[in-house]
Structure 1
Amino acid sequence: MNWTDYPDRDMLALELAEVLADALVTALHHKDRVTLSVPGGTSPGPVFDALSQVHLPWDRVDVLLTDERWVPESSDRSNTALLRRTLLTGPAAAARLIPLYAPTPEPEESLDTLSAAIAESLPIDVMLIGMGADMHTASLFPGADRLEEGLAEDAPVLLPMRAPGAPEPRVTLTAPVLRNAMDIHLLIMGEEKKSAVERAATLPPAEAPVACLLGEARIHYAD
């Protein structure tokens, strides 16, 4: 695996933000618009804080979450709302957000519309992704109801996913979309997640979904 270790989390956030910014600038030299895909949750917050202040042509960047809980932005569980507070501020406020949520009771009712908008911005040019201690990535959870479909080579762009312990449905980019990103960066922090990603490398994706990305990802780690 391609590892980069950092002395502490502050240094990881600053240097990873610089890595992502450089990757975006390189991609923008070759394309009029580029797609940056990022995870939800609080772990990448410091990276987003630093990246959002970088001056680059953000008006040519489409930002896409790797997954989202099926809740409105008014919910404190909304990754979209969190992203607006962390990444889509300062210079980065000029970026275009591609939604992963629509105001319908169930994700199946909006899946076609959301998928069509995402497909126009694929493949992903630069992707930051996370991993849970259970070795899930995006909302590809071990034991999720449509995990097998989400891992398949012919998977659709976007799938609804319901998993044990998840209080609401989610939508997630599928394994082929994630794996086909041009530049993949996996963020992990803490010994528990380090051990989990090392274990995932020995398991099939059906047991450790993050395994589907480990061959292509650069792993950024701080304790």
Structure 2
Amino acid sequence: MAISELQLPATAQVHDLPSGKVLAATLAHDVAERLRAAIASKGQACVVLSGGRSPVPFLEKLAGEALDWSKVTVSLADERWVPVEHPDSNAGLLARHLFKGEAGRARFVGLYQQAENLDAAALKADQALAELPPIDVLVLGMGDDGHTASLFPGSPNLAQGLDLAGSRRCLPLLAPSVPHQRLSMSRSLLASAAFIALAVQGPGKLATLRAALAGTAIDEMPIRAFLHDPLGIYWCP
């Protein structure tokens, strides 16, 4: 199965790339171009990134892009509720792979907050995100279960997290099969991005995308909430 065989919405622009290396470089170039354009037009830019292992090559490429990083605000679509020193921290991932050299001048608005419990941490993160500029670029990933950010099927706060008219910027979420509690941007905040990119690699993720396109229930596969928005899909086998 190839991505060209999928019945994609007309609003999706597909980049069919030969390898993960080319995907990382192409996505980094396109993200940087949009950030440069935002800086040129309004003096600042904002990008929201996703964590995990697969974005590492992209983050390394993005760190080397020439732009005025002092005018860029970076945030995360979601975060595990662990300190930045923890190996599973997405903020720690950015510290290791993005915030180096000139890219170290970027401003970071993270989701992790110290608090007595996850609900309190999410409220503090929600308040911190009030200072986030309008999002110029959002880079999403997708799990094999159809989750994106930390909007997991079966999570207690999923309906609130998927509410396009919701007022919350950040919510406490749970990953059913993974131990860490999560903080996630809400769909209402994520969908406000001027440009959304979805990175998809490998036959397993392509099968997940096919399943997501075949149905409409966003609570079953939350990535469906974004597939009919204007979207750049970056795919490699």
Which segment drifts farther, 158-167 or 182-191?
A: 158-167
Identify the residue that residue 164 of structure 2 maps to in structure 1: 153
Identical-pair percentage: 35
Listed one character per residue, the Cα deviations across residues 132-158 of structure 1 (whole Å, up to 9, x for unaligned) are 011100000011111111011232111
Q: Would you say 1:162 and 2:178 are equivalent positions?
A: no
Matched to 1:135, the amino acid is G
Matching residue within 49, 54, 63 for 1:38: 49
Matching residue within 199, 206, 212 for 2:225: 212
Q: Which runs of 5+ in 1 are unaligned?
A: none
What is the distance in 2 between the residues matched to 1:210 and 1:181?
Answer: 15
Identify the residue that residue 221 of structure 1 maps to in structure 2: 235
Native 8 Å contact 2:122 2:171 kept in 1: yes
Native 8 Å contact 1:34 1:121 kept in 2: no
User: RMSD across aligned C-alpha pairs, in angstroms?
Assistant: 1.2
Listed one character per residue, the Cα deviations across residues 144-191 of structure 1 (whole Å, up to 9, x for unaligned) are 111111011232111000231121210000111111210100001001
Which segment drifts farther, 196-205 or 124-133?
A: 196-205
Query: What TM-score do the two structures reach when normalised by structure 1?
Result: 0.96
Native 8 Å contact 1:178 1:213 kept in 2: no
What is the distance in 1 between the residues matched to 2:160 and 2:107?
Answer: 29
Query: What TM-score do the two structures reach when normalised by structure 2?
Result: 0.90
| CA apart distance, 1:119 | 2.2
Matching residue within 66, 77, 80 for 1:66: 77
| CA apart distance, 1:122 | 4.0
Q: Would you say 1:18 and 2:32 are equivalent positions?
A: no
Identify the residue that residue 202 of structure 1 maps to in structure 2: 214
Partner of 1:206, secondary structure, is: coil
Matched to 2:178, the amino acid is A
Q: Would you say 1:120 and 2:141 are equivalent positions?
A: no
Partner of 2:232, secondary structure, is: strand
Q: Which runs of 5+ in 2 are unaligned?
A: 1-7
What is the distance in 2 between the residues matched to 1:98 and 1:193?
Answer: 29
Identify the residue that residue 191 of structure 2 maps to in structure 1: 179
What is the distance in 2 between the residues matched to 1:168 and 1:7?
Answer: 34
Which segment drifts farther, 158-167 or 18-27?
A: 158-167
Native 8 Å contact 1:123 1:177 kept in 2: no
What is the distance in 2 between the residues matched to 1:148 and 1:122?
Answer: 25
Identify the residue that residue 143 of structure 2 maps to in structure 1: 132
What is the distance in 2 between the residues matched to 1:97 and 1:125?
Answer: 15
Identify the residue that residue 189 of structure 1 maps to in structure 2: 201
What is the distance in 2 between the residues matched to 1:192 and 1:24?
Answer: 31
Listed one character per residue, the Cα deviations across residues 51-76 of structure 1 (whole Å, up to 9, x for unaligned) are 10112110111100100000011211
Partner of 2:227, secondary structure, is: coil
Partner of 2:73, secondary structure, is: strand
Matched to 1:117, the amino acid is A
Identify the residue that residue 56 of structure 1 maps to in structure 2: 67
| CA apart distance, 1:30 | 1.8
Pair 163,50 (structure 1): closer, same or farther in 2 beyond 3 Å: closer
What is the distance in 2 between the residues matched to 1:185 and 1:150?
Answer: 20
Q: How many residues align?
A: 223
What is the distance in 1 between the residues matched to 2:120 and 2:21?
Answer: 41
Partner of 1:218, secondary structure, is: strand
| CA apart distance, 1:89 | 1.2
Native 8 Å contact 1:205 1:211 kept in 2: yes
